[in-house]
Structure 1
Amino acid sequence: MVPPLTLWAFKPDNMGGGTFDTIFGPNASIWATSDLTRPHWGLETAGTDKALVLGGLDAARVMGLPGMVQFDMNTRSFTNQSSASIGQPIQSGQIQYVPSFGPDGIFLAFGGETAKKEELVSFGVVPVFDSATQTWYNQTTSGNTPKGRRDFCVAGIASNNDTYEIFLYGGLGGNFDNDDGKEWYDTPYDTISILTLPAFHWVDVTYDRPIPRNLHTCDSVGGSQILIFGGTDYAPSKTSDFIQKSMSSEDPFSQGIGIFDLSNLEWADHYAARPAPYDQSDPVKQYYAMAGQSYVSNLGSPVATLMKTTHFNHTVATAANSTATSSLTTSTSTTSPSKSSKTGAIAGGVVGGIAFLGIVTVVAIFTLRRRRRLARQREELDSTNLPLHATAEKRSEMDAETADSELPSNQMMRSELPEQYLPEMG
């Protein structure tokens, strides 16, 4: 028996636990007035104040669901949004929330397959949803485009160079079954790709251990760490017991949890509680060094405008791998993500250095003259024992070992979500 529609919210207690509360119970009038259904295999995610469900199948798993349902966490209301501009209904893909671009952040839809014909969706075009204007745009990508697939995972992290990298791992390609429903010939993927923004450019990742995986989840969990949880290691088979086989094999991840370092592009054997901030990997740095501003010509006009408004919290690594966050900045510059901030820092450092030297010179002259006057007034003077007069306030820095480490504000911790967040429908 299918349980009635219910909306739950999890409220963390900031001590590693929390409680579930009912926002809308089974008898709430909102279920009748919002015209909602239970989607299967929809694309789901949440931003700072909105949760989205795009596409999927109806309750009978027959008809593709057009459009997108939004839940506003502030008003606690549902709305339907057209997605006609991105094509026919899709399923088994992913949506990634990117807080670093656009007035209110943007949402990117990835891959999956069409709900009607089960045709794999190309990663050569990524639909972009502007939360501020409630509008979808189709953006063409460049680089080494991943092959179409479903049941993969994505996770994103903002870099210190004003870019945002989206990690894509695993998934299944091919067809789920043939016409008679007896053969299964999906193609499992153990590949990792990175989509870097604002360029919308794909970069391939090479690594030592091939680990095919699908139906898993990915989350950014601090620094450059991507946490991979659960899933199966499906292998092609022409027998109907492939599901049992894929779930009974030994998992190469301890406790079903994997850690991938996005800065070094390597699998890690542990989780770092105090990680260094995320720095662009070498392939991403090399791309922007060679491309310069040429990628801008590949952006559609609306998307290019969204990319001009940025929100980045820059972090600085210390000797103890602590992190210090700076204030939120907004930029409308279209210069290279890795060059503009560095040029400003160098120029500011030079100007500040010149000003400092000028002040030191004036103070030194003043002090020298004062000492000479004192020397004439004293009969015995040991110039080496003159007291040092402070001319400016001494500014010390907090020891990195005593500073509490904080996560950058543009990385959402999915384990502690706002009280109004919609984790699932029951």
Structure 2
Amino acid sequence: MNNITFIGLLFQILQFAVISVGYWNIFKKCGVKPYYAWIPFAREYHIGLCANREKEARTYTIIAVLSEVIGVINNLRNDGSSFSLIVAVIYFSLQITLIVYMIRIYLGLIEVFGRKKRWLFGFIFIQMITTLIWGLSPKFVPRKKVEDPSAEEGVKVSGTEAPVIESGLTVNITERKVIDFFRKKVLLKDIHMNIPKGHMVLLLGGSGAGKTTYLNAVTGYEKADATVKLDGQDIYTDYAKMKYDVGFVPQQDLMRGNDTVALTLTDAASLRLPSSVSFFQKRKRVNEVLEEFGLATVRNSLVEKLSGGQRKRLSIAMEYISDPTLFILDEPDSGLDGVVARGLFEKLRAIADQGKIVIVITHTPDRVIDLFDDVIVLAKDASRTGRLAWYGPVDEAREFFGKDSMEGILLAINQKDEGGEGRADEFVEKYTDKYQKEAG
């Protein structure tokens, strides 16, 4: 290593250290964990948080990581070939994009600190000095600090698990959390319930309340810090065996339009039934399901020729082929008119009456609410965490919330900025008290 290269390396280290010291103090002023000032990529993202430019910061961080990867490839393949030229052009384009996003973030930071836009030139051309001044001078104070929803305590938790029942579904979710761009987010917390067989349950909650996360946790698709047992058997630890006893119908149909109805169900049987089931048993099951869902007359029709109601029944039949004890459906009435949707829910009611557990999400619950036994209400508390605001009979839910419709209940628990009444914490705490009292 020659002297010039060594001096250049020392300067880069010094520059990084000085800038990090400046951002360390800026982060402390903004309410951000200061150690992120020393972590590449994380530092840039948290500058964006201080600047109230979270969206731009995410994009900048992703592009910065991609740019580093492209830069390494460019250095390794800098042989003058057409490939290296393309890589170089991509790298240059990414650098230009980074500059644009960094300018947006710096402008946001200047706005948050209430300073003049000419400081932008300082951040671009003399970053070391500028960050030190902003970090160390007591005159530079942000007008607002970074909001951290996870820092909010939220309402109290019950800390009481539901006892395991031998016939039905027992759900005890302590917590479901993820790391989202260097920040821990708790998606669900303190959800405990028993759902007996033969019950059809509505899953109700506003946007972001954790309905899909709850379903993924219950089915074992995305495991939480939880215990989920179906007929006393643990879905998490016995997943290889239990997956055949859990059916999940997504909102979007997963079918090939150029296949026949019979072939679609035959393929579903191959996937959803254990390998120990013989070919003749699978064929028998396909014929049974065709009859049960009123699809026998269209068994040789192409999927793309089916009506909306027939397609939805086929979508449900594909999961029902394994005769699951727990049957979960995400908006099965999406895109269907009232009459067809009503008929579909009546079929689901009949399935529940066979001793199954049926859990359904729908955005039009009031037109079929008479078919449900119970309702689960999820709501975002003060910490933006999905919490249980109610689980129990539909009629008791109306009384609990003081509303005469499911839409009214949603209005009560939704945040005010979503057009709701903003009473989620009130009902979560009220239900927690009720649950603790009943649990003894």
Q: Which has the higher helix share?
A: 2
Q: Which has the higher strand share?
A: 1
Q: TM-score, normalised by structure 2?
A: 0.20
Q: TM-score, normalised by structure 1?
A: 0.21
